[in-house]
Amino acid sequence: MRAHTLIPVIFIPFILFLGCIRVKETVLTKEKMQFIANQFENALAVTNDPVRIPKSIDKNGKLKTTGIYGWTSGFFAGGLWYMYEINGDEKWKDEAIKWTEVLGPVKYVTDDHDVGFMINCSYGNGLRLTGNKQYEKVMIQAAKSLSTRYNPVVKSIKSWNSKKAWDGETIWNFPVIIDNMMNLELLFEATRLSGDSSFYHIAFQHALTTMKNHYRDDFSCYHVVDYDPLTGVVLDKATNQGFVDQSSWARGQAWGLYGFTMCYRYTKNKKFLDFAENIADYILNHPHLPEDMIPYWDYNAIDPNLSPEWNYDASKFTEIPRDASAAAITCSALLELEKYSGKKREIYLNAADKILESLFSPEYMPGSKHNKFFILNHSVGSIPHGVEVDVPLVYADYYFLEALARKSHT
């Protein structure tokens, strides 16, 4: 569930935005809001089969899709739920239901930690906005499935199954990635819905372990920490999608900020709030954060003293890629964190406003003919893998819409 509360869905389209978001009035025009709706309508027109779920576009602007078991499968349905919340048009609700309910079989997935993303972003938002009791059952079963990946010795949920590190020799047998903080929301929700505290316990312990082992003294984080599943001893700290092992992969920093803020929402444990604020301060005060607050894909990607172990060719880029998805996640997280922070509230709120202003700019939301299906341009999936570099991504749009919805309640 999200931090903002359910509000009656009776708005005249676009009025909610224009009256409530504290950024320049010229940024939030009716035309921009219509553009967002058009992008969704274009995607729906091309893929009317919910098992082909929008994910990105190829180099020719053609829609790329994923199946229901892809880790991004819940974001499109979640975006539709936010469209319904934002303007109250029943057509978005109808589409959201269709694209949500096709994901039902995912609730039994036990070989992937991202069941949290897949189910919570779709069914979780659907439950929040409709109160559908059948959605509760799906959420609880999905939490049971996710819980099977928890190791009480490690005190963490296993992310990937066994995987080779960049050196081609190291095998990660119990890798835990910072992204996994996002999946804890499903577990916290399952306890709220079912009364079964085991889900809460797993989420709480995972968060504590992540605090202890993923983070450096400056509150930047490693992407991957690998454990001995028999003893819980840390075997490796590395990256998989960042610049180097010691760098700060931008989306990873955003996942952590969002995750620990969410943990405070459910636990009211001040250590999580303090930790989230420290992460936010690291991000907002980073010397490599551009003026428009849309980060480079890795905060250290412009550091001349770092050399990646993977085959990095800077000449491929006319400029170092930004990551709008990291910015959108950070923005949404800040718009929740500001609700809990005292003296820093205005700092976080102003930062979120600046990010929104930048994301609404022609640089990131140009309405170009090349991108007919998504809201934001210039996101990065994984530069080390050469996958989804400087393209629109469905999860960038999802967290952007979530940020707009959250902003409407500030």
What counts of helices (H) and strands (E) characterise the chain? 14, 11
Domain for residue 371, yes or no? yes
pLDDT digits (tens, 9 = 90+) for 380-390: 999 999 999 99
**Model pLDDT, residue 56:** 98
Which residue type, as a one-letter code, is found at position 315? S
Phi, psi of 164 (to 5 degrees): -80, 140
pLDDT digits (tens, 9 = 90+) for 133-179: 999 999 999 999 999 999 999 999 999 998 888 777 889 999 999 99
Phi, psi of 385 (to 5 degrees): -90, -5
Alpha-carbon Rg of the chain, whole angstroms? 20
Residue 9 has pLDDT above 70, yes or no: no
Domain for residue 328, yes or no? yes
Supply the range of the domain harboring residue 203: 30-303+320-409
The first and second tokens of residue 250, run together, are: 């931008």
Q: Using 50, 70 and 90 to split pLDDT, how confident is the model at 368? A: low
- Quote the CA–CA distance of 194 and 5 in Å, as a whole number: 20
The first and second tokens of residue 407, run together, are: 């902003």
pLDDT digits (tens, 9 = 90+) for 312-341: 877 788 899 999 999 999 999 999 999 999
Q: Using 50, 70 and 90 to split pLDDT, how confident is the model at 28? A: low
Residue 21 has pLDDT above 70, yes or no: no
Residue 33 has pLDDT above 50, yes or no: yes
Domain for residue 106, yes or no? yes
Q: Using 50, 70 and 90 to split pLDDT, how confident is the model at 51? A: confident
- Nearest one of 87, 91, 92, 59 to 76, comparing CA atoms: 92
The domain tally of the chain equals 1
- Quote the CA–CA distance of 106 and 8 in Å, as a whole number: 30
- Quote the CA–CA distance of 359 and 398 in Å, as a whole number: 13
pLDDT digits (tens, 9 = 90+) for 97-130: 999 999 999 999 999 999 999 999 999 999 999 9
Q: The whole model's pTM is what?
A: 0.93
Find out whether 229 and 150 touch, Cβ atoms under 8 Å.
Answer: no
Residue 26 has pLDDT above 50, yes or no: no
Q: Which helix (H) or strand (E) holds 6?
A: none
Domain for residue 224, yes or no? yes
Residues acting as catalytic residues: 114, 179
Find out whether 277 and 337 touch, Cβ atoms under 8 Å.
Answer: yes
Q: Quick one: average pLDDT of 287-309?
A: 93
Residues in the chain: 410
Q: Using 50, 70 and 90 to split pLDDT, how confident is the model at 11? A: very low
- Quote the CA–CA distance of 238 and 3 in Å, as a whole number: 32
Domain for residue 280, yes or no? yes
On average, the pLDDT of the chain sits at 92
For residue 83, give every residue at least 6 positions away whose Cβ sits within 8 Å of its Cβ, in sequence order, or none. 36, 37, 40, 89, 92, 96, 401
CATH number at residue 359: 1.50.10.10
Domain for residue 312, yes or no? no
Domain for residue 10, yes or no? no
Q: Using 50, 70 and 90 to split pLDDT, how confident is the model at 27? A: low
- Nearest one of 234, 198, 228, 188 to 214, comparing CA atoms: 234
Q: Quick one: average pLDDT of 245-250?
A: 97
Domain for residue 325, yes or no? yes
Residue 276 has pLDDT above 70, yes or no: yes
